[in-house]
Amino acid sequence: MDHRSSICWCMVLSLVFAAVDNAVSQSDQRTMEILRDQLQGSKWNATDQDFCKWYGVYCNSNRMVERLELSHLGLTGNFSVLIALKALTWLDLSLNSFSGRIPSFLGQMQVLQCLDLSANHFSGTIPSEIGNMRSLFYLNLSSNALTGRIPPELSSIKGLKILNLNTNGLNGGIPEEFHRLESLQELQLSVNHLTGPIPQWISNLTSLEIFTAYENSFNGAIPQNLGLNSNLEVLNLHSNKLVGSIPESIFASGQLQVLILTMNSLDGSLPRSVGKCRGLSNLRIGSNKLTGSIPPEIGNVSSLTYFEANENSISGNLVPEFAHCSNLTLLSLASNGLTGSIPSELGSLPNLQELIVSGNSLSGDIPKALSKCKNLSKLDLSCNRFNGTIPEGLCNIPHLQYMLLNENSLRGEIPSDIGNCKRLLELQLGSNYLSGRIPGEIGGMSNLQIALNLSFNHLEGPIPTALGRLDKLVSLDVSDNKLSGAIPVNLKGMESLIDVNFSNNLFSGIVPTFRPFQNSPGSSFKGNRDLCGEPLNTCGNISLTGHQTRHKSSFGKVLGVVLGSGILVFLMVTIVVVLYVIKEKQQLAAAALDPPPTIVTGNVFVESLKQAINFESAVEATLKESNKLSSGTFSTIYKVIMPSGLVFAVRKLKSIDRTVSLHQNKMIRELEKLAKLSHENVMRPVGFVIYDDVALLLHYHLPNGTLAQLLHREGGTSEFEPDWPRRLSIALGVAEGLAFLHHCHTPIIHLDIASANIFLDANFNPLIGEVEISKLLDPSKGTTSITAVAGSFGYIPPEYAYTMQVTAAGNVYSFGVILLETLTSRLPVEEAFGEGMDLVKWVHNASSRKETPEQILDAKLSTVSFAWRQQMLAALKVALLCTDNTPAKRPKMKKVVEMLQEVNQGA
């Protein structure tokens, strides 16, 4: 070929290529248009003429789609047309609502390198065809509802670097064939039902950096050479059935940053080689069967932030080398066999927030140097053998919230600087040998809230009147001391007090007549020879056994009633709903034939919306099942798109017919009043329509659904896990809204507090819905069949069974259930709790099942950070107070708001 003809060839070739390109890019255009039409999801901005400019679409220079990043757009539908995108290397459809099986056609996408289908509703087994995706290096199928075994065919993807199958329902073992995945850097198999041993060949994967398999049922030992051939950075195997020892090899490379082996049956000791890992920040090996002592090399782990080894059989001393870990924030060695004393070197830990060594055999003095730990918030030395005095200066720690020194052999007096503990929430000094008087300065602990326990000591003298300043304190126990004198009237200032115990002292005079004292059982005052008055039947040391048994049997009766009527209420709700569904079906059938119903009256309260709302559209929307958004105890909600294009929610009240026809004018007046209620966490009606004998209420449509939907997405695994700060802010908003309702001009008791009635706006700001119900239906009037229903199953306060009245305290209970849902991600009623158990009982009974509060919390949130866990534990305490069986013991909603604000500011 001469020069000229070769140029010619080039021209021809490039023309041909251009034509091919053109054709391909046109077909990408068509493909993308079909894709857009098939994916329902209003949040995808795909409006531009040029598909390459659509949101999340990245084209190459030939205008072929190379990357699709369509995460978190609420998409559903059929994406099979994607297969025509020949240049696609990157496909991210995570955090959407796709469902059904993972399509096997993906196996034909030979150039795809990255596939992220995580956090959708995919179910069924993982198609083995995925193994044909030769170019894949990133595969994320986590947080779906996938079942069956992990297909061994995935091992054909030779270049796979990242494999995440977390949070599905997978079972079986790790396929033997996976030893061929030599490029694997990250293998995540956590939160599944996987079984069998962790295979030995895992330690032959030379690139492995991250391996997590927590919350499965793996048994056998951790592979002995794991970490020997690679730079292991994260190893998280908590909550399995692993046995054997912690292999030295995992520390060999010195690269380990996170080691979590909590809740297994591991034995042996923590290897000395842990000292090689200077970058190890998170070391959690609690709840195992570990023995031996903590190696002094722990001091070489200079990044150590979080050390948790509670509930093992670790012996030896609390090594002073911990003091070299200047970032140490949590040191928990509770429930072990430690001996010796607390080294005063620990006082040099500026960041230490929690020092928890309860349940050991530590002795000696509490080092004064601890007062130099300026960030300490929890000091738990309870249940040891400390035999010195309580040092002065501990209360110079500005953030100290918990001082738990009970069940030791502490002697001497309570230091008078105790009043400097301004942030203290709980002071436990019970069961020691403390002597002298209770210092009046104790009244300076202005935030003391949870408990003040001085019981079983040798304290004498009078109760200081300054105690009356502790107006937030809930529980006060000074029993079994030698305290004397009258119980001071100033204690009247303790307005939050619920639980008191003054028994077995030398008190005299009259039991104060104010509430917390009069509501207490006689046993709270027994054993004081010269103390008289109610609730003691007689003065002095009279046996109260008769009294107590009476209490017990009436409690049994109440329990029976509560259980029985819980079922009754559930049945009634079911009947109402069933009747309603039947009625609606008939209406639907009728609607198909009849002309549209005639509108009696209607109004729009918001001036600017008057033009935008069309009553007929609202009525029509409620006649179509497909518009239904949700259904609650008292109403069903439909979505309506007005001819103006604005979207509203229409609430159709159930079984309200007679109320409407008899009290129409009253109802309209109430609605108008409600429309004026102004609080950002309360949903107000924007208008109403009455047709025939049906009332419809109009609200703004809130696109983020309800709190129930957010917390418990249908389909098992959640599509979008709201993180803890968001959950806390939602709970706080709900509490503020409820407090507003309870304390507004004419207080409103809500009839149906449930997470399904908490709506979320675009910023996830919560709004309490169904407020109208409380005004429109008055159960005490007995006009409708709803009288017997006090809200949603699982949220009904126990006292409702015998009072049949919804009260503010009942609302607090229901709110407590919502808070528990937020903390545990569990439903208020689940079969898993066992017979007769609901969420509240399950949580309150945790300690009898030997479960710690940490085991109740949603581990996906509480293990994220120390700060989150701390806040969650504090919020759990609030939830427990709210769901107390006794209505009088529950805090007021305003108080709940304060407590949650403190949780929010703490940590």
* Separation of alpha carbons 627 and 641, rounded Å: 10
Is 162 among the residues that bind ligand NAG (CB under 6 A)?
yes
CB of 182 to ligand NAG, least distance (A): 11
The partner residues of 242 in beta bridges, in order of sequence, read: 220
Q: Using the rule CB under 6 A, is 327 a contact of ligand NAG?
A: yes
Long-range contacts of 547-550 (CB under 8 A, 24+ apart): 547/521, 547/522, 547/523, 548/521, 548/523
Binding mask of the shown chain, residues 348 to 387, with x at each position contacting ligand NAG by CB under 6 A = --xx-----------xx---------xx-----------x
Could you say whether residue 118 binds ligand NAG (CB under 6 A)?
yes
Q: How far is the CB of 387 from ligand NAG (least distance, A)?
A: 4
Comparing every residue's Cβ against ligand NAG, the nearest one is 275
140 binds ligand NAG (CB under 6 A): yes
Please say which residue, 222 or 773, places its beta carbon nearer to ligand NAG: 222
Q: Is 167 left (phi over 0), alpha (psi -120 to 50) or beta?
A: left
CA distances from 524 to 55, 477, 510, 528 (A): 68, 9, 13, 10
> Which member of 36, 67, 149, 179 binds ligand NAG (CB under 6 A)?
179
> Is 100 among the residues that bind ligand NAG (CB under 6 A)?
yes
Does 792 participate in binding ligand NAG (rule CB under 6 A)?
no
The one segment of 150-158, 197-205, 592-600, 627-635 that binds ligand NAG by CB under 6 A: 197-205
Q: Determine, following the binding rule CB under 6 A, whether residue 332 of this chain makes contact with ligand NAG.
A: no
Q: Is 183 in the site for ligand NAG (CB under 6 A)?
A: no
To ligand NAG, the closest distance from the beta carbon of 53 in angstroms equals 6
Task: Give the CA angle between residues 261, 263, 269 to the nearest 5°.
Answer: 55
Q: Is 107 in the site for ligand NAG (CB under 6 A)?
A: no
- What's 828-869 look like in SS3? CCCHHHCCCCCHHHHHHCHHHHCCCHHHHCCHHHHCCCHHHH
DSSP symbols for 668-706: HHHHHHHHH---TTB----EEEEETTEEEEEEE--TT-B
Strand partners, 436: 459
CB of 485 to ligand NAG, least distance (A): 31
The footprint of ligand NAG on this chain (CB under 6 A) covers a number of residues equal to: 38
Candidates 128, 132, 171, 204; binder of ligand NAG (CB under 6 A) is 204
* Residue 164 within binding range of ligand NAG, rule CB under 6 A: yes
Site for ligand NAG in 53-72 (CB under 6 A): 53
Out of 36, 272, 775, 841, point to the residue binding ligand NAG (CB under 6 A). Answer: 272
Bridge partners, residue 162, by sequence? 138, 186
Separation of alpha carbons 599 and 603, rounded Å:
11
Give the Cα separation of 692 and 432 in Å (integer). Answer: 73
Please say which residue, 122 or 502, places its beta carbon nearer to ligand NAG.
122
CA-CA distance, 458 to 505, in Å (whole number)?
Answer: 10
Tell me the C-alpha to C-alpha distance, in Å, between residue 204 and each of 40, 174, 184: 45, 15, 11
Amino acid letter, residue 620: E
Q: Does 96 bind ligand NAG (CB under 6 A)?
A: no
Under a CB-based contact definition with an 8 Å cutoff, are residues 102 and 79 in contact? Answer: no
* C-alpha closest to that of 35 among 71, 75, 89: 75
Residue 884 is a catalytic residue:
no
Name the segment binding ligand NAG (CB under 6 A); options: 136-144, 511-519, 537-545, 762-770. 136-144
Which CB, 139 or 290, lies closer to ligand NAG?
139
Task: List binders of ligand NAG among 676-735 (CB under 6 A).
Answer: none
Residue 725, Cβ neighbours under 10 Å: how many? 13
Residue (94 or 528) nearer to ligand NAG, CB: 94
Among the listed residues 26, 40, 42, 45, the single contact to ligand NAG using CB under 6 A:
45
Q: In what order do the strands lie in the sheet with 241-243?
A: 99-100, 121-124, 145-149, 169-172, 193-197, 217-221, 241-243
Active-site residue identified among 28, 380, 752, 884: 752
**Binding residues vs ligand NAG (CB under 6 A):** 45, 47-48, 53, 78, 80, 94-95, 100, 118-119, 140, 142-143, 162, 164, 179, 186, 188, 200-201, 204, 272, 275-276, 297, 300, 302-303, 326-327, 350-351, 363-364, 374-375, 387
> What residues act catalytically?
752
